[in-house]
């Protein structure tokens, strides 16, 4: 039987940019959460590694040998290859960690078959800053460049969530470059719900400056009565958290048909 693994969509329920580090990266404090939906990977043992992409956003990955699935396979020693099919359901350059989530799913599949080396977090971080978090795919706090994990009381599991993207890619680099450099303080203390409510996304304003339709997405979501609506990561995807699945589904129906949407629950 081929292995099947979901690459869970990553959300930054809060994202505080504190300062620029000496190595040029930004020091971050973020509350990671994951949706119970995303890309889907299937894998079977093979003589050598291979990656096939399909799905709505497969065409965006113009080099299947250089995507994060292939890089994750190359990062992990194994006694046999894997033939991987990636169903690309998440938009690319969208603030959802789609490629990182795909790599995280590869790590979990290799773990199920062969186990992971003790230094897997280091190997994952070399692929991308969000990859260690996406291997875990559970609510936690990310520190440093996002590769360091800290535990948090997760009182949000099962929360209905709606993701909305205006179908416009937004690269991370320009958004960080447009950040005003002001340290607005650390994440709040407490359980995940309090951090989400009282936190912020410091990249929201610079992202809106580069992609103004993000403000329209946020306004549309806030008009549907969620208890929180915010941009994820460096955008352009925004999310809204609801008290009930019915409220989430009604909100999804109210979004413009031209926008990409995904409904789910927090894991």
Domains of the chain listed by start with CATH number: 3-150 (3.30.230.10), 160-265 (3.30.70.890)
State the catalytic residue, choosing from 39, 102, 130, 202.
Answer: 130
Q: Are the CB atoms for 155 and 192 separated by under 8 Å?
A: yes
Task: Supply the pTM of this predicted model.
Answer: 0.94
* CA 122 to centroid of chain Cα atoms: 19
Q: For the sheet containing 260-265, what is the strand order? A: 228-231, 238-241, 160-165, 260-265
Mean pLDDT of 237-248: 98
Average pLDDT, the chain: 94
The 3-state secondary structure of 221-265, one letter per residue = HHCCCCCEEEECCCCCCEEEECCCHHHHHHHHHHCCCCCEEEEEE
126 is annotated as an active-site residue: no
pLDDT band at residue 120, thresholds of 50, 70 and 90?
very high
Task: Say whether pLDDT at 101 is over 70.
Answer: yes
Is the Cβ–Cβ distance between 187 and 146 less than 8 Å? no
Residue 61 pLDDT grade (very low, low, confident, very high; cuts 50, 70, 90) = low
Q: Among 10, 39, 102, 202, which one carries the catalytic annotation?
A: 10
To the query of whether residue 130 is one of the catalytic residues in this protein, the response is yes
Mean pLDDT for 43-69 is 85
Instruction: Check residue 59 and give its pLDDT.
Output: 80
Each residue's pLDDT tens digit, 154-177: 999 999 999 999 999 999 999 999
Q: What's the pLDDT score for residue 62?
A: 59
């Amino acid at each position: 039987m081929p292995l099947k693994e979901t690459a869970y969509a990553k959300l930054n329920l809060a994202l505080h940019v504190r300062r620029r580090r000496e190595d040029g990266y930004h020091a971050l404090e973020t509350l990671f959460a994951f949706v119970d939906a995303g890309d889907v990977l299937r894998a079977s043992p093979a003589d050598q590694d291979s990656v096939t992409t399909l799905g709505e956003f497969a065409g965006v990955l113009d080099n299947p040998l250089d995507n994060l699935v292939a890089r994750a396979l190359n990062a992990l020693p194994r006694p046999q290859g894997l033939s991987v099919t990636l169903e690309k359901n998440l938009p690319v350059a969208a603030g959802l960690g789609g490629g990182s989530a795909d790599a995280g799913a590869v790590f979990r599949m290799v773990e199920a078959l062969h186990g992971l080396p003790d230094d897997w977090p280091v190997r994952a971080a070399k692929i991308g800053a969000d990859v260690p978090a996406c291997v875990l795919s559970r609510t936690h706090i990310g520190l440093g460049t996002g590769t360091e994990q800290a535990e948090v009381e997760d009182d949000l599991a099962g929360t209905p969530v709606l993701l909305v993207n205006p179908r416009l890619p937004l690269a991370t680099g320009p958004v960080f470059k447009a950040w005003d450099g002001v340290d607005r303080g650390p994440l709040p203390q407490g359980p995940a719900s309090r951090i989400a409510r009282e936190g912020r996304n410091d990249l929201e304003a610079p992202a809106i400056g580069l992609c103004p339709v993000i403000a329209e997405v946020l306004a549309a979501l806030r008009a549907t009565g969620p208890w929180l609506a915010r941009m994820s990561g460096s955008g352009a995807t925004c999310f809204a958290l609801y008290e009930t699945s019915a409220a989430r589904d009604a909100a999804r129906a109210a979004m413009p048909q031209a926008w990409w949407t995904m409904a789910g629950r927090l894991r």
